[in-house]
């Protein structure tokens, strides 16, 4: 199989099916880049429908990066109490806000290498931030992207990071920033690892 040709064929079908959806993912449509960073940290192992209203409540209480950096852990934890891994996330969002203020003068860094040095930020979050906030190309790989790419044979990888770099070899760069949204919506529509079911929904 020519994986590059197969990617293009499949991605165009998936983009036609899901690309115009108005469904909002957790990391989308925030006003400030620091909010995108914080929400994406919060979204790990949590549904978008859960994450978005909690993030809105957090930003209503802490509307600026400074106020979040100065927030008390117990108060942030109370807002995040219904999320998975709420204690770790509460620590990370406060620490991340502080780091952005101290190390980057309140400006979210625009490179993946810099972003992944922030508390709670891995490559998934970093790639989402550079594509969503700064219009750069990156492949944000979550569980849906990792699963679908492997089930369809576009990559043969064991970890999301391996999938990110493997997809770079098969996907034209102009599509990198769109892969996450399209594959996440696709993954939400079809669970499991049945290749026929994944492809059937594109018809």
Please report how many Cα atoms fall inside a 13 Å half-sphere around the Cα of residue 71, on the Cβ side. 28
**114: which 2 tokens?**
């810099």
Q: Is 17 a catalytic residue?
A: no
Please state, in angstroms and rounded to a whole number, the distance separating the CA atoms of residues 170 and 192: 23
Q: Return left, alpha or beta for 190; rule: phi > 0 is left, psi -120 to 50 is alpha, else beta.
A: beta
Burial class (CB in 10 A: 0-12, 13-18, 19+), 194: exposed
DSSP 7-49: HHHHHHHHHHHHTT--PPPTTSS-SSHHHHHHHHHHTTTS-HH
Q: 9 with 153: CB under 8 angstroms?
A: no
Q: Which of 5, 17, 98, 124 is catalytic?
A: 124
- Give the length of the chain: 203
Q: Which residues are catalytic?
A: 124
């Amino acid at each position: 199989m020519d994986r590059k040709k197969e990617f293009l064929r499949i991605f165009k079908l998936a983009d036609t099916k899901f690309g115009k959806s108005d469904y909002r993912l957790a990391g989308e449509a925030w006003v400030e880049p620091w909010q995108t960073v914080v929400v994406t940290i919060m979204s790990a192992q949590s549904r978008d429908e859960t994450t978005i209203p909690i993030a809105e409540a957090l930003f209503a209480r802490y509307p600026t990066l400074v106020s979040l950096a100065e927030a008390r852990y117990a108060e942030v934890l109370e807002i995040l109490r219904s999320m998975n891994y709420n204690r770790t996330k509460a620590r990370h969002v406060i620490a991340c806000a502080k780091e952005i203020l101290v190390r980057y003068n309140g400006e979210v860094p625009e490179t993946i290498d810099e972003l992944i040095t922030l508390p709670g930020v891995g490559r998934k979050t970093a790639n989402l931030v550079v594509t969503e906030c700064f219009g750069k190309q990156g492949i944000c790989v979550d569980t849906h992207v990792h699963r679908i790419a492997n089930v369809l044979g576009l990559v043969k990888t064991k970890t999301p990071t391996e999938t990110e770099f493997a997809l770079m070899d098969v996907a034209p760069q102009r599509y990198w920033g769109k892969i996450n949204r399209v594959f996440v919506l696709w993954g939400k529509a079809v669970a499991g690892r049945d290749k026929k079911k994944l492809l059937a929904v594109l018809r």
